């Protein structure tokens, strides 16, 4: 029988991931799996899980029965390789070890690792920001990137994004959490596809969907 729904969970490092990344990734899977029902949920670690490794094991337990668990990490550096080797890979190994001992944990886990931090992806699409916030700033005034494939080279993307928010409305600028959901719906996925970290996530997501027989090619 053909599968008609896809369920994924997201473990994020903070509210930005729940407010922006979760709906953005849901849009991504809606596009990858047209006509299929997509269900998504932010998965939080259990109390007492203090280290990142323990937290991943905890959310892997809670996501048992989902098709996929996505773990967010910000690279905070020009490359995602170091944090992937230092934090993500050991955590996945811990999940695999627990499964071998009989624990009921999800076994399909991939990372999403924006270079610098998640806000760098927001800087890839100024028109989405303008639509979500209603700013009269120009792209240059807001210091957004004209070339989305270069956003990962921008240092301090969070500060740039928050400054653009403050300058958008003189009397009462919106808070990040107030605009993230709208940004997630407005941002152009074609522009994101040329951002290396998002492109890498798409590559891994497609591989997972093939392995789970949601995609054939």
> Lowest mean pLDDT: which of 141-150, 168-177, 180-189?
168-177
pLDDT of residue 1: 56
Distance CA 110, CA 144 (A): 29
What span, in angstroms and rounded, lies between the C-alpha atoms of 203 and 209? 10
CATH classification of the domain holding 24: 3.40.50
| Structural domain that includes position 107 | 5-116+195-211
Same domain membership, residue 126 and residue 81: no
What's the structural domain count of the chain?
2
> Is the same domain home to 95 and 163?
no
Domain identity same for 105 and 35: yes
Which residue in this structure is represented by tokens 């910000």? Answer: 74
Instruction: Please compute the mean of the pLDDT values over residues 75-99 and round it to a whole number.
Output: 89
Give 120 or 100, the one with higher predicted confidence.
Answer: 100
Q: How far apart are alpha carbons 65 and 63 in whole angstroms?
A: 6
Q: Is there a single domain that holds both residue 18 and residue 102?
A: yes
In this structure, the answer to whether residues 179 and 157 fall within a common structural domain is yes
Higher pLDDT, residue 35 or 13: 35
For the segment 38-63, the average pLDDT, to the nearest whole number, is 93
What pLDDT is stored for residue 2 in this prediction?
Answer: 66
pLDDT at 88 over 90: yes
Residue 15 lies in a domain: yes
Average pLDDT (108-137) is 89
- Both 150 and 67 in one domain: the answer is no
**126 φ, ψ (degrees, to nearest 5):** -70, -35
Q: Is residue 217 part of a domain?
A: no
One domain for residues 84 and 21: yes
User: How much is the average pLDDT of 107-120?
Assistant: 89
21 and 98 assigned to the same domain: yes
180 occurs within a structural domain: yes
Q: Write down the pLDDT at residue 170.
A: 66
Residue 173 inside a domain? The answer is: yes
The pLDDT of residue 114 is above 90: no
Select the highest-mean-pLDDT range: 55-59, 74-78, 172-176: 55-59
pLDDT over 90, % of the chain = 60
* pLDDT value of position 99: 96
pLDDT bin (cut points 50, 70, 90) of residue 167 is confident
Whether residue 88 sits in one domain with residue 39: yes
Please list, in sequence order, all residues whose beta carbon lies within 8 angstroms of the beta carbon of residue 73, skipping any fewer than 6 positions away.
13, 80, 83, 84, 87, 88, 111, 112, 113
Distance between CA atoms of 202 and 158, rounded to whole angstroms? 23
- pLDDT for residue 189 is more than 60: yes
Same domain (yes/no): 22, 91:
yes
pTM of the complete model beyond 0.85: yes
pLDDT number for residue 95: 97
Q: What is the mean pLDDT of residues 189-198?
A: 94
């Amino acid at each position: 029988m053909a599968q008609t729904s896809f369920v994924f969970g997201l473990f994020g490092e903070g509210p930005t991931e729940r407010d922006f990344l979760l709906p953005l990734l849901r849009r991504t899977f809606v596009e990858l799996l047209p006509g299929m029902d997509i269900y998504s949920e932010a998965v939080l670690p259990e109390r007492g899980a203090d280290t990142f490794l323990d937290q991943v094991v905890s959310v892997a337990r809670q996501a048992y029965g989902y098709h996929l668990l996505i773990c967010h990490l910000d690279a905070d550096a020009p490359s995602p390789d170091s944090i992937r080797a230092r934090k993500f890979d050991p955590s996945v190994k811990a999940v695999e070890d627990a499964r071998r001992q009989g624990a009921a944990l999800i076994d399909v886990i991939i990372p999403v690792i924006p270079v610098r931090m998640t806000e760098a992806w927001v800087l890839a699409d100024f028109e989405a920001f303008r639509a979500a916030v209603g700013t009269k700033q120009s792209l240059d005034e807001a210091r957004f990137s004209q070339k989305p494939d270069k956003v990962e080279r921008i240092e301090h993307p969070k500060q740039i994004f928050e400054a653009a928010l403050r300058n958008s409305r003189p009397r009462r600028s919106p808070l990040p959490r107030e605009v993230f959901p709208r940004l997630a719906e407005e941002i152009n996925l074609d522009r994101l596809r040329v951002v290396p970290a998002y492109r890498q996530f798409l590559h891994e997501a497609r591989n997972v969907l093939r392995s789970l027989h949601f995609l054939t090619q």
